[in-house]
Chains A and B, each alone.
Chain A
Amino acid sequence: MYAYDEIDRTLVNERVSEFRDQVKRRLSGELTEDEFKILRLQNGVYLQLHAYMFRVAIPYGTLATNQLRALAHVARKYDRGYGHFTTRQNIQFNWIKLAELPDALEDLSKVGIHAMQTSGNNMRNVTSDQWAGVAPGEIEDPRIWSELIRQHTTLHPEFSFLPRKFKIAITASEHDRAAIKIHDIGLKLIKNEKGETGFEVLVGGGLGRTPFIGKTIKHFVHGRDILSYIEAILRVYNQYGRRDNIYKARIKILVHELGIEKFSREVEEEWQHIRNSSLQIDDEVIEDIRSRFSYPNYEKLPHMPDELRQAAADADFEAWRKNSVAPHKVQGYSIVTISLKPIGQPPGDATADQMDALADLADKYSFGEIRVGHEQNLALPHVAKRDLPALWKALDKLGLATPNVNLITDIIACPGLDYCSLANARSIPIAQELTRRFANHELANLIGRLHINISGCINACGHHHVGHIGILGVEKNGEEVYQITIGGRADEGAALGNLIGPGVKFDEVADVIEDVVEAYLALRERPEELFIDTVKRLGVEPFKERVYATR
């Protein structure tokens, strides 16, 4: 993982000190809320239903164990003992006091953690694949580039007051675990014929009120040009993005209104002015960043260690291993996904105790590194296969070994009306009930891979548009009503889901989802045909008929 140097630490400290001054001026009344709001947002501080919410950045979803322990410390000291991992690889604390925030930020700064630009109309966390650096078949570690872009976009003097928020994601694998096609800029790391690293650049993806799948603006931008190219896109957006209507202010709207060809030309014209400037990245600079990413000293380990062979007799261990353990690019190692979706619990939460315990496990079994995925689960990226049985026992005791990764109970949900002041309906209780209905792991495995995404309002923080099953909570006559879509995808085959019928009430949602699943089980060609593929093959109609026949 990336090691901050003196220079990075200085910046974070200067930021903390600035925010302390801003909070002081706010509490004294020298700054009005109207003036302060934009400043606190630039430090990830929201006002929610019950309290402030504090969103801390986890750059490209990578954490060292001392950093995870610092997050546990913040949860304990300044919050109510838990945190929530988000769909952008960040962490949120829901009960923070404004007056204590400068101290919390200072505590975090000691381990190189900050909350810069996790909110506001600026450039947010540059997210990536939670398996970056260890996934088999990955072209090269995309986090090097995430870090370069992170630095370039942090406290950028020209682009800190954009028309709206701006999100960038990078993937370097064929299977896109970073959902780049629903980002403002999506970057697919590729090599040209000469073997040089570059990016296919997509622009204008995003969900919310007007969802769009990103469009390719340039098929290959050389690595050395990526910062200048991003600068060109941002400059066009900063000047021409709409500022009259916050619902039309994302870059996706500008791309849509101009059309991708015209938008490309505008960017190209700007880019020609700046491509040969100091924004061009020297190889030396790339090497410097790369050198500050540390990688484990992997041992030479056998493909099938004795510990694993022996543990195969334990049915529970096997169920977990088959579900949560993925192949690693180095023989003898594996990538372990840690499900934060226990049956009956809010998805994506972890207690301070769990975080501390996980940090210990990461030290012992994963070279001190943890990852955060956008599906709101965690991962240990470097676990020796021989350690899997011992690790599993420990995770199981902590309630972190539910074998439901990528299954129907591995639900992505926004905080919803229980926490969020933008929400129209609750999402977490819906998720909880669904996990209870499908709690049986045999049933869940019978159903197979199925992503449910739940959003409590049209802002779509739960990414419902791209769920295999998407659930959107709306309000109708003072009641919570839920619209259900099917057929969405967030990966390289990104697509928006389609509505299957009129909205249903809070108490009926779980029944409807059961009917959708039943329909799938009846309609699938063979057990291996995934839900998403059945929907693709047959369309929405057969599901509509079966689910709404009696409604």
Chain B
Amino acid sequence: MTSPLEQKKIKIAGPSVVTANRTWDGIVVYRTAAKSWSADLAEAAIVRTSDEAKALLAESVADDVGAIGPYIAPVQVGADGKIEPGNLREQIRRTGVTIGQSAQA
């Protein structure tokens, strides 16, 4: 979970997606193969090589009207093709804080 904001070299260790936050409201989104953003991880485009990752990231960065702060995040792909977050940080981004905030509305 070293902050991916510190990513300098693009090197991926397995299947990955590009994730960001939607510009107008900040919610977590994923880059789709259709060159748009979706809040559903199931619709994320999966990249498997560093070159693919670089390309997907580059075109995501260019679309900053839609979403901001894109970076490459690891995922796990199950035998049934189901995509799950690949680390704790992405798990938290998807399912929310782990702290049982009783104050939440």
Write the B74-105 contact mask toward A (1 if CB under 8 angstroms, else 0): 00000000000001110011001111011111
* A32, B104: Cα distance in complex, Å: 33
Q: Decide if A367 is an interface residue (CB 8 Å cutoff).
A: no
Residues A99 and B99 in contact, CB atoms below 8 Å apart: no
In the complex, the answer to whether A426 meets B98 with C-beta atoms within 8 Å is yes
Which of A1-9, A49-57, A299-307 interfaces with chain B?
A49-57
Interface string of B1-21 (1 = CB under 8 A from A): 111010000000000000001
Q: Determine if B3 and A98 form an interchain contact, defined as CB atoms under 8 angstroms apart.
A: no
Cβ distance B45 to chain A, nearest Cβ, rounded Å: 21
Rounded to whole angstroms, the CA-CA distance of A425 and B88 in the bound complex is 9
What's the least CB distance linking A432 to chain B, in Å? 7
B33 within 8 A of A: no
A351 in contact with B103 (CB, 8 Å) = yes
Q: Residues of B within 8 Å of A, CB-based: how many?
A: 29
Q: Are A47 and B21 in contact (CB under 8 A)?
A: yes
Which residues A16-47 have CB closer than 8 A to chain B? 26-29, 32-34, 47
Stretch touching chain B among A289-297, A416-424, A441-449: A416-424
Main secondary structure of the interface of B (DSSP, over half): loop
- Contacts A27-B23, A96-B26 given; does A423 touch B3 at CB 8 Å: yes
User: Is B52 an interface position by the 8 A CB rule?
Assistant: no
Contact status of A50 and B88, CB under 8 A, knowing A33-B68, A422-B5, A475-B2: no
CB of A503 within 8 Å of the partner chain: no
Q: Are B64 and A32 in contact (CB under 8 A)?
A: yes
A50 and B28 CA atoms in complex are apart in Å by: 6
Using Cβ atoms and an 8 Å threshold, which residues of chain B touch A97? 24-26
A81 to B21, CA, bound (A): 21
A345 to B101, CA, bound (A): 7
Q: How distant is B70 from chain A, measured CB to nearest CB, in Å?
A: 10
Please tell me if A429 contacts chain B, counting CB pairs below 8 Å: yes
| A195 lies within 8 A of chain B by Cβ | no
Report chain A residues within 8 Å CB of B42.
none
Q: Does chain B have a CB within 8 A of A82? A: yes
A92 to chain B, nearest CB (A): 13
Q: Which B residues touch A425, using CB under 8 A? A: 1
Interface size on A, residues (CB 8 A): 43
Contact partners of B3 in chain A: CB under 8 A:
421-424, 457
* Complex partner residue of B24 from A27, A346, A423, CB under 8 angstroms: A27
| Interface hits, A420-441 → B, CB 8 Å | 421-426, 428-429, 432
Residues in A with CB closer than 8 Å to B2 are 424, 475
- Assess the A99–B21 pair: CB atoms within 8 A: no
Residue of B nearest to A99 (CB): B24
Q: Measured between alpha carbons, how far is A81 from B101 in the docked complex, in Å?
A: 11
Residues from chain A with Cβ under 8 Å of B1 in the complex: 417, 423-425, 475, 478, 480
Contacts of A418 in B (CB 8 A): 92, 97-99
Chain B residue with the shortest CB-CB distance to A29: B65
A52 touches B5 (CB 8 A): no
Contact B24 A98 (CB under 8 A): yes
> Shortest Cβ distance from A425 into chain B, in angstroms?
7
Q: Is the CB of A51 within 8 A of B105?
A: no
- B25-72 at interface with A (beta carbon < 8 Å): 25-28, 64-65, 68-69
Chain B neighbourhood of A480, CB < 8 A:
1, 88
Determine the distance from Cα of A349 to Cα of B104 in the docked complex, in whole angstroms. Answer: 10
A96 and B101 alpha carbons, distance in the complex (Å): 17
Q: In the complex, what distance in Å separates the CA atom of A454 from the CA atom of B82?
A: 36
Which residue of B23, B64, B92, B104 is within 8 Å of A80 (Cβ)? Answer: B104
Known: A50-B26, A50-B28, A417-B1. A33 touches B64 (CB 8 A): yes
List residues of chain A with CB within 8 A of the CB of B103: 81-82, 345, 349-351
Nearest chain A CB to B3's CB is how many angstroms away? 5
A284 → B minimal CB distance (Å): 47
Chain A neighbourhood of B65, CB < 8 A = 27-29
Please state if A26 and B23 are interface contacts (CB–CB under 8 Å): yes
Q: Considering the chains assembled together, what is the distance between the CA atoms of A27 and B26 in angstroms? A: 12
Contacts of B98 in A (CB 8 A): 418, 426, 429
Cβ–Cβ < 8 Å partners of A417 in chain B: 1, 88-89, 92
A residues 48-94 in Cβ contact with B at 8 Å: 48-52, 76, 80-82
Residues in B with CB closer than 8 Å to A426 are 88, 98-99
B-chain residues with CB within 8 Å of residue A351 when the two chains form the complex: 103
Contact check, A98 vs B99: say whether CB atoms are below 8 A apart.
no
Asked if B99 and A428 make an inter-chain contact with CB atoms under 8 angstroms apart, the answer reads yes
For the complex of A and B, the 8 pairs showing the least CB-CB separation, nearest first, are A81-B105, A51-B26, A97-B25, A82-B103, A52-B26, A418-B97, A33-B64, A29-B65
**A-binding residues in B (CB < 8 A):** 1-3, 5, 21, 23-28, 64-65, 68-69, 87-89, 92-93, 96-99, 101-105
**Residues in A lying within 8 Å of B, measured CB to CB:** 26-29, 32-34, 47-52, 76, 80-82, 95-99, 345-346, 349-351, 417-419, 421-426, 428-429, 432, 457, 475, 478, 480
**Interchain residue pairs with CB less than 8 A apart (12):** A34-B64, A81-B103, A81-B105, A96-B26, A97-B26, A349-B103, A417-B92, A418-B99, A421-B3, A424-B1, A475-B1, A478-B88
- Give me 14 other A-B pairs in contact (C-beta within 8 A), A33-B23, A418-B98, A418-B99 excluded: A33-B69, A50-B28, A50-B96, A51-B25, A51-B27, A52-B25, A80-B104, A99-B25, A417-B89, A422-B5, A426-B88, A457-B3, A475-B1, A480-B88
